Chains A and B, each alone.
Chain A
Amino acid sequence: MSKILSALACNLDANILLASLPLLEAEKVQAIEWSFDTLFQGREVPPWFIELLQEFGNANRLVGHGVFFSLFSGRWSEKQQKWLDELTRLANEFHFDHVTEHFGFMTGEDFHKGAPISIPWTTQTLAIGQDRLKRIYNACQCPVGLENLAFSYSLEEVKRHGDFLAQLIEPVNGFIILDLHNLYCQLHNFDLDFAALINLYPLDRVREIHISGGSWEESSLNPDRKIRRDTHDDAVPEAVFQLLAKTIPRCPNLKYVVLEQLGNGLHTPESRHLFQRDFLRMDEIVQTADLEKDNRVINSFLPTGVFELHKPLEDNLLYAQQLELSNILETATDYLDARDRLQVSSLAQTEWETEQWAPHMLETVIRIAQKWKNGFA
């Protein structure tokens, strides 16, 4: 029997832990999601945090959520191999029920900093993504999944995202995390209807759902328009709870619903109270839906065995384009500067389709890349 578990994104962050503690004490948290690679750089983990992970892991209720692998980097890097080695070590130390990563490549200087942004859907990028997912599976030997991206350059890209995810995970019999706040960003930023967009996702492949809050940002290009960003720094909007209630019944393989919020939005007693209230509201929706769910496990999301892999696939042209795009985004003075530089770049008139990028989204991705370009340094 499989039941839907209400989970928290729980990392080694004082504010998150203090906000979560009343929920943990009340035995409301049924699983936790840990961004395991945020602690890869030789940082110490206190024994009580390890015990917390082990408690949930031993109960088969710990899931790993990677951030920095950079799935679509055109060139294979030593850091990616180290990431896999660390994942293998952690998967032996803790029992992950599954491991996930984000779609996209990182914009930072070595592709392990910055923020994940999208890549064009081509046979080459599909092959690279499938190759990397097989390597992740070999490293952790548990179900592997990919999260839908909040950011898109264009409406066409939004429409293709679900299909691309489905093809990427197919060789590993993988699953997707459907982040409903990411979907909410897309609905707003591209003026879309939920019923139309949700049908473009492979809902039978959804094993995990994320909900979170975010923020609004002005667009200098269109003063009447506000951009929704997935900043994870505020309470969950009512609209996202409504999306959750509508989506759960359509996901027959759903196992985890996770509330995500960053510690920087949880400094005050009021914000922590809102976080706890959001969790309980989420749990209420989950429990109600779970009663109506047919609890048969339909898909294990495990491939038939370990993959025999040789040299990692690489694409030098893609790598050069990613470097060039990252540089433009991180150094552009504004939208017009970025647009002009893209027009004479190696991305112009290619499958990147930069000519079709929505101006307000180009402006947004410049802000994202510049916000995160130095990672945490």
Chain B
Amino acid sequence: MKLSKLLLQAILVGATIGATTTACTKSNDLEEADAKKSIEKNTDHHGGTYGECPACGMG
């Protein structure tokens, strides 16, 4: 399915910042800061994320 370039760029920025949670961002861009905050909030104490799950009973 086709997604807009703007959305794809936003995903890239959000996911990249989220993946480097120990790095400080130089950007003052509000969207980037929000993205970082959101990904960090969704990171559990084991370094995983809440998208991870016990799967289907054999996880």
- A interface residues, Cβ below 8 angstroms from B: 11-18, 21, 24-25, 27, 29-31, 35, 38-39, 43-49, 51-52, 55-56, 59, 61, 67, 102-104, 106, 114-118, 147-151, 179, 182, 185, 210, 212, 214, 228-232, 260, 262-264, 364, 368, 371-372, 376-377
Interface size on B, residues (CB 8 A): 38
Q: Which residues of B contact A377 (CB under 8 A)?
A: 44-45
A46 contact from B1, B14, B16, B44, Cβ within 8 A: B14
Q: Scoring B residues 12 to 45 as 1 if CB is less than 8 Å from chain A, else 0, what string do you get?
A: 1111101100000000000100110111011011
How far apart sit A209 and B42, CA to CA, in the bound complex (Å)? 27
**Contact: A67 with B53, CB < 8 Å?**
yes
- B interface residues, Cβ below 8 angstroms from A: 1-3, 7-8, 10-16, 18-19, 31, 34-35, 37-39, 41-42, 44-59
**Contact: A44 with B55, CB < 8 Å?**
no
How far apart sit A24 and B7, CA to CA, in the bound complex (Å)? 10
Closest 9 A-B residue pairs measured CB to CB?
A11-B51, A230-B58, A150-B58, A48-B10, A13-B51, A115-B54, A151-B57, A17-B15, A14-B18
**Contact: B51 with A12, CB < 8 Å?**
yes
Q: Which residues of A contact B1 (CB under 8 A)?
A: 27, 29-31, 55-56, 59, 61
**Contact: A18 with B16, CB < 8 Å?**
yes
Q: A212 — nearest CB in chain B belongs to which residue? A: B55
Q: Which residues of A contact B45 (CB under 8 A)?
A: 376-377
**Contact: B57 with A52, CB < 8 Å?**
no
